Amino acid sequence: MIISEKKLENAQMEIRVEVPENRVETEYKSVFEKIRGNAKIDGYRKGKVPLELIERKFSEMADQEVAENLLRSVYLDAVTEKNYRPIAPPRFNFDRIKRGEGFAFTAVFETMPEIELGDYKGLKATERSCKITDDDVKREIETLRERHANVSKKEGDDARVENGDMVKIGIKRIDNVEPDKIEGLEFRDYNMIVGKSRAEYGFDDDVLGMKSGEQKETKIKYPKDYEIKDLAGQTARYIIRVEEINRMDLPALDDDFAKDLGEYSSLEEMKKGIRANLEKFVTEKAKSEAKGRLLKEAVEKSTFDLPMSMIEKEMEALFRRVQERTGYFSEDINEFAATLGLNVEEFSGRLRSEAESNIKSTLVLSRIAEKEELKVPEEKYREVVESIAKRNNRSVEELEKIISDNNSRESIESDLVMESALEFIYENAKIDRAKPQTLDEFIKAE
């Protein structure tokens, strides 16, 4: 039946099929009998029209239906015989179909993506490290105290900004506009706790001693590595205006404060807990970054043949997530991009690039899990279910029923297998620990 097959790009296969004349004739007879059973022709009862008349009158209709029937059934027989695994409907092409002749057609269809794994053991990565200090713990505690502070507005003509006050100020930059336009510029609101910033380019020193409603001009010189590129290395001039001054009465730093947080029984336990949480954060963050770099390298060392339908499906999923994040929904990507002021080609290109990256990463991890025969221990699955139940304030039994009703256990286990494969890459890698950073450096570099 299949007389040729050819592998194409993007995980596509093309087959050429010839259907013998006797199979074509059988299909024509079946189609004409079906038409005869439903045809209404004056002078004849339904189903009693002479077959010769049916064949003359409905030949074009029969040609189309016979072709459709043969394409569908013969294609299915062919891919079953060859054990192909199409993942999208095929595209058919044929010259003609005619009774009394054989029928030939080609079918192009996408198959499961192919991947040839590269090296994934012994990869190298540098992992950041961070040393948590007593000062880091103190700052975290101060943040907690500020979060639970009593805030009251400072009133009166003598109320001035002091260190520790929560202040709302208005800011407008004036060095990049014409002098006659400064007055018309609107102030941009900014909230700060005075003296909290440890950067040299904050407004803390400028607002000290100012009254509510008072304004002044100031300038700030930004470092060359400042995160906002337009300001990096620049000296900017601003007008600042104090809008509101609030006193912050912090809770006493004692055992009662620790107990009020609901997690600790004493101040000392709180300090230890905060240190442990910070250490866990930086350790997990650094490890996650290293894993990401190792996976990227494993992907780069592998080769792929990806079907377009899979890429397009992933792009659609990414597009939906972007819409959910922005709160603007549109079925048309051009309309969406235009509304948000995006270049549609660049936006679409980013979606495609991310989609391909996601698919490749998934394929690499899946193949590694398969090759290394990685399984999900039942206790690990139970641990995840219990964690999800806790986060959603449900009992394990309730969550298990939801999982069962939605048939989602396989999806959870699949995610866990992927995590196991990534952990496998990490455990078999050569990790170089970088020189410890301060917590500020660690977070800034992120």
Q: What is the pLDDT of residues 167-209, one digit of tens each?
A: 999 999 999 889 888 888 999 999 999 988 767 778 999 999 9
Assess contact for 168 and 189: CB atoms under 8 A: yes
d(CA 443, CA 198): 14
Mapped to the 3 state alphabet, what secondary structure does 53-94 carry?
Answer: HHHHHCHHHHHHHHHHHHHHHHHHHHHHHHCCCECCCCEEEC
d(CA 324, CA 127): 33
* CA distances for 364 relative to 18, 133, 294, angstroms: 38, 39, 12
337 three-state secondary structure:
helix
d(CA 300, CA 302): 5
Strand-strand pairing, 124-127 and 430-433:
parallel
Q: What is the pLDDT of residue 135?
A: 95
List the single range of 120-129, 172-181, 293-302, 425-434 with lowest mean pLDDT.
172-181
What residues form DSSP beta bridges with 191? 168
* Residue 329, Cβ density class (10 Å: 0-12 exposed, 13-18 middle, ≥19 buried): exposed
Q: What is the pLDDT of residues 247-260, one digit of tens each?
A: 999 999 999 999 99
Q: What is the pLDDT of residue 277?
A: 96
List the single range of 108-122, 275-289, 327-341, 363-377 with lowest mean pLDDT.
327-341
| Percent over 70 (pLDDT), the chain | 99
Q: What is the pLDDT of residue 123?
A: 97
Q: What is the pLDDT of residue 47?
A: 73
Assess contact for 287 and 426: CB atoms under 8 A: yes
Assess contact for 123 and 89: CB atoms under 8 A: no
d(CA 134, CA 295): 35
In which band, very low, low, confident or very high, does the pLDDT at 445 lie, cut at 50, 70 and 90? confident
* CA distances for 119 relative to 92, 303, 371, angstroms: 39, 11, 13
Nearest to 431 by CA among 288, 237, 316, 242: 288
In which band, very low, low, confident or very high, does the pLDDT at 373 lie, cut at 50, 70 and 90? very high
Q: What is the pLDDT of residue 228?
A: 78
Element (H, E) at 366: helix 344-371
Burial 193-216 (b: 16+ CB within 10 A, else e): bbeeeeeeeebbebbeebebeeee
d(CA 90, CA 16): 12
Q: What is the pLDDT of residues 384-410, one digit of tens each?
A: 989 898 888 888 888 888 998 888 888
- In the Cβ-directed half-sphere of 237, how many Cα atoms lie within 13 Å? 9
φ and ψ of 226, to 5 deg: -60, 140
pLDDT over threshold 90, residue 301: yes
Residue 389, amino acid: A
pLDDT over threshold 80, residue 30: yes
Nearest to 299 by CA among 353, 379, 376: 353
Q: What is the pLDDT of residue 446?
A: 62
Q: What is the pLDDT of residue 114?
A: 87
Which residues, at least 6 apart from 398, have a Cβ–Cβ distance to it below 8 Å?
389
Average pLDDT for residues 412-420, to the nearest whole number?
A: 92
d(CA 310, CA 362): 12
Burial 173-192 (b: 16+ CB within 10 A, else e): ebeeeeeeeeeeeeeeeeeb
- Mean pLDDT, the chain, as a whole number? 91
Assess contact for 108 and 13: CB atoms under 8 A: yes
d(CA 201, CA 222): 6
